[in-house]
Structure 1
Amino acid sequence: MQSQNIDSIKTIFQSRLTTLEHLLKLAQSHFDGNESFLQKRIVADMLPLGTQIAFTCNQPRNFALWCDGKPMDNLDPEVTSLALAYEHIANTQGLLSGIKVKDEKLSEVTRLDEKDLYIEMSGSVYVNDFLIPNFYFHLVTAYDILRMAGVSIGKRDYMMHLVPFIKKA
């Protein structure tokens, strides 16, 4: 297994954000530009697609902010337009591109505060056990909402990052 470093984490986030953008473009085409699909959800008590987009972006966004020594700053979860969805993705990509921190950052202890509770963990644990699982949860939920809504997408659309490695037998 390849050793994890800041650049490999950036690459994962960047490539999967490109996937999210790809999925949105397919949905935009499927719904002929009607943006109401951003309000679709799997079940009534789950958050809508627009919120899933914001939450997907929050993970790499907060990774970039953490790398820069800044506090977490989540996006407004009310994403009701494709312009805003694409803007969130582009801004998050920009934050990731600006990361200039050494891999030692992954050894630093970080603290997550939630009301009257907190968690202290290493940067590696923060990335692997908090950010990455949350990132994939919201990305997969966005994918699932679009599939449920009838957008013709499949595993190839979700795993676009592997396309350069595909070879003909």
Structure 2
Amino acid sequence: MDKQKITALQNIFSSRLDTLSHLLEVAETHFANDVESLLQRRIAPDMLPFGTQIAFTCDQPHNFTLWCRGQSTKNLNPNIASLTEARNLISATQDLLASINITDAKLSETKRLELGQGLYLELSGLSYVDDFLIPNFYFHLTTAYDIMRMAGAPIGKRDFMRHLAPLAESSIR
């Protein structure tokens, strides 16, 4: 994995965090009188609520950046109490993500992930990114989107895939 892949990953994380910010704007408009309830909504009783999905979405680029800096990874506070707090978390994560400046050597290191209950994973840098960070990032982003859809927010695929909007062209002349 080279510097080019890291730059691409920074762009993916940042643009999808922009999508999450957009979803929060829709939530603020659509659920203006009941934002607190939205933050506690879940898809299923054993799944985490909307606010936690936002924090867990941010955890992936946050921990990636800490790892790239040679620092210990640490998950963010999962108890999001307001959309303002959620927006601030997204913004801080994007700022942190923009600060990455690493060498290729870091990417060949092994990353140990503590899973709790005495379990852990040891992954190569490439596997850490491709098999752990990216799937978790999209899982929590998609779950946040799904909770909003389930709650009745007027969002669709265009909202989720906003990162492609600048690339859209018209065939109508």
**Superposition TM-score, scaled by structure 1 size:** 0.94
Q: Distance in 2 between matches of 1:45 and 1:109?
A: 32
Q: Does 1:130 align with 2:146?
A: no
Q: Distance in 1 between matches of 2:48 and 2:147?
A: 10
Q: 2:165 aligns with which of 156, 160, 163?
A: 163
Per-residue deviation at 1:35? 1.8
Query: Stretches of 4+ moved more than 6 A in 1?
Result: none
Per-residue deviation at 1:76? 1.1
1:79–1:85 CA contact under 8 A, matched in 2: yes
Give the match's secondary structure for 1:13.
Answer: helix
Report the counterpart of residue 76 of structure 2 in structure 1.
75
Report the counterpart of residue 43 of structure 1 in structure 2.
44
Report the counterpart of residue 54 of structure 1 in structure 2.
55
Q: Does 1:117 align with 2:119?
A: yes
Give the match's secondary structure for 2:148.
Answer: helix
Structure 1 residue identity aligned to 2:75: N
Per-residue CA deviations over 1:110-158 (Å, capped at 9, x if unaligned) read 1112331222111110000000000000000000000000000000100
2:27–2:35 CA contact under 8 A, matched in 1: no
Percent identical across equivalent pairs? 56
1:42–1:145 CA contact under 8 A, matched in 2: yes
1:5–1:103 CA contact under 8 A, matched in 2: no
Report the counterpart of residue 99 of structure 2 in structure 1.
98
Alpha-carbon spacing, 1:4–1:130, altered in 2? closer, same or farther (3 Å): farther
Structure 2 gaps of 5+ residues are: none
Structure 2 residue identity aligned to 1:133: P
1:35–1:80 CA contact under 8 A, matched in 2: no
Per-residue CA deviations over 1:59-111 (Å, capped at 9, x if unaligned) read 00000000000111111111121111011101100110110112342222211
Paired positions, count: 167
Structure 1 residue identity aligned to 2:44: V
**Superposition TM-score, scaled by structure 2 size:** 0.92
Structure 1 gaps of 5+ residues are: none
Q: Distance in 2 between matches of 1:11 and 1:153?
A: 23
2:13–2:61 CA contact under 8 A, matched in 1: yes
2:59–2:76 CA contact under 8 A, matched in 1: yes
